[in-house]
Amino acid sequence: TLRAAVIGVGHYLPDRVVPNSDFEKTLDTSDEWIRARSGIERRHFAAEGQTTSDLATRAARNALSDAGLVPDDIDAIIVATSTADLTFPSAATMVQCELGMTRGFAFDVQAVCAGFIYALSTANALILSGQARRVMVIGAETFSRIMDWTDRSTCVLFGDGAGALILEAQDGAGTSEDRGILSVDLHSDGRHKEILYVDGGVSTQTTGYLRMQGREVFRHAVEKLAATATAAMDRAGITPDQVDWIVPHQANIRIITGTAKKLGLDMDHVVVTVQDHGNTSAASIPLALSVGKERGQIKPGDLIVTEAIGGGLAWGAVVLRW
Ligand code: ACO
């Protein structure tokens, strides 16, 4: 069977680390509150002038070196982001240019925090249909640029960063190897726009800030994430007891533990980075995959379920063998 297999991974986090205690100086909040409600202890923020495509390019270089490839070995670049540098061109073509890549094609995918799942699904489709042999899938965000720093219920939750995977068409036929993406499950429901959105954009000629009804998002999250993960596992023909790692979108530790519990999986099968990164939206999953590998948690052959939900609402899951 032809599969989109992971052959490289990398990430980049901006240098500036902001601990929870920094917010105590300007907001009526506390390190204890933020930790208890979200599991977040610190996050990285991009430097002034540092853009999403800068972060994405650094993550891309790290993934290329992990794979032992050069940019022109890649056929396509997909960047999942809601915080591209400019309205156009896409962040992906900027990354392509920065890498010095003069062949192939590049485009962005926008599904907010589910963006990386949507981008993985798109890359998988490109590979299975023969349109590309090697696809770089990047999640990159600078959510610090859309924070309302006077809103304590949102600005303490998000961070900046980027992660990248390289997928390659591989045919495991005749071998015991069945590495790569095994199944995908995607959903969206635009009726829930009001609970998580940015109140500005090109067509309204403002930049806007992220607005969220946290409790409402929470209410949808655990139920929808468990359902999509279950659907993806069913489609892949696997059961939760076979799963080595859940690599969830890192929004909030309570959503992560709630979802794992609903799936009947122990937390020692879950990669958790939210304490160090905060919610980096579309970047959180590739960041967690890269850090999980670096920590020695994720190993070749591991069966991974990755899932995310975000603005839209849009949500989904991917099952893959590393
Ligand atoms: N510090 C101190 N108090 C705060 C803070 C803060 N940073 N933020 C809110 N509060 C207060 C509220 O004002 C409220 O006070 P009130 O009762 O006097 O009105 C009180 O804390 C409780 O607020 P809730 O919003 O009900 O608190 P909750 O327990 O729901 O926790 C949180 C808030 C952390 C946002 C939670 O709802 C949550 O995690 N929701 C999911 C949000 C999320 O993860 N979104 C991202 C997923 S989608 C994506 O990634 C884009």
252 is catalytic: no
- DSSP annotation of 175 reads S
Query: pLDDT tens digits, residue range 19-39?
Result: 999 999 999 999 999 999 999
Question: How large is the ipTM?
Answer: 0.92
Residue 175: pLDDT band (50, 70, 90) is low
In the listed set 171, 198, 222, which residue is the last one of a domain according to the structure?
A: 171
Are 243 and 166 part of one and the same domain? no
In this prediction, residue 173 carries a pLDDT of 63
How far from the centroid of its chain's Cα atoms is residue 83's Cα?
A: 13
Q: Are 143 and 112 in contact (CB under 8 A)?
A: no
In this prediction, residue 290 carries a pLDDT of 98
| 259 C-alpha to ligand 1 centroid (Å) | 18
Contact partners, residue 189, CB within 8 Å, separation at least 6: 312, 313
| 134 C-alpha to ligand 1 centroid (Å) | 41
The CATH number linked to 275 is 3.40.47.10
Which domain, by its residues, includes 241?
180-321
Are 6 and 150 part of one and the same domain? yes
| 281 C-alpha to ligand 1 centroid (Å) | 17
Are 159 and 196 part of one and the same domain? no
pLDDT of 53 strictly over 70? yes
156 lines ligand 1 (CB under 6 A): yes
pLDDT of 7 strictly over 70? yes
Residue with tokens 């992906």: 92
Cα–Cα distance between 34 and 311 in angstroms, integer? 21
In the listed set 171, 194, 215, which residue is the last one of a domain according to the structure?
A: 171
Average pLDDT on 249-255 reads 97
pLDDT of 178 strictly over 90? no
Query: What burial class does residue 264 get, using C-beta atoms within 10 Å of its C-beta: 0-12 exposed, 13-18 middle, 19+ buried?
Result: exposed
200 lines ligand 1 (CB under 6 A): no
Are 261 and 292 part of one and the same domain? yes
274 lines ligand 1 (CB under 6 A): no
249 is catalytic: yes
| 195 C-alpha to ligand 1 centroid (Å) | 13
151 lines ligand 1 (CB under 6 A): no
H/E segment holding residue 149: none
Query: pLDDT tens digits, residue range 154-168?
Result: 999 999 999 999 999
Are 76 and 164 part of one and the same domain? yes
Total tally of structural domains belonging to the chain: 2
Cα–Cα distance between 274 and 248 in angstroms, integer? 10
21 CB neighbour count, 10 Å cutoff = 13
Are 94 and 156 part of one and the same domain? yes
Paired tokens of 283: 């970047």
| Helix, strand, coil % over all residues of the chain, rounded to 5 | 40, 30, 30
Q: What is the pLDDT of the chain when averaged over all its residues?
A: 97
Are 166 and 263 part of one and the same domain? no
Q: How big is the chain by its Cα radius of gyration, in Å?
A: 18
In this prediction, residue 119 carries a pLDDT of 98
pLDDT of 1 strictly over 90? no
Catalytic residue among 113, 124, 155, 252: 113
Are 125 and 247 part of one and the same domain? no
Are 153 and 210 part of one and the same domain? no
Tell me, what amino acid is at 218? Answer: F
Are 159 and 107 part of one and the same domain? yes
Are 24 and 135 part of one and the same domain? yes
Average pLDDT on 69-76 reads 97
3-state secondary structure of 107: strand
Q: Are 105 and 98 in contact (CB under 8 A)?
A: no
Catalytic residue among 11, 44, 249, 277: 249
Query: What burial class does residue 103 get, using C-beta atoms within 10 Å of its C-beta: 0-12 exposed, 13-18 middle, 19+ buried?
Result: exposed
Are 148 and 18 part of one and the same domain? yes
Q: Where are the alpha helices (DSSP H) in the chain?
A: 31-38, 52-67, 91-98, 115-128, 152-155, 214-236, 253-263, 274-277, 284-294
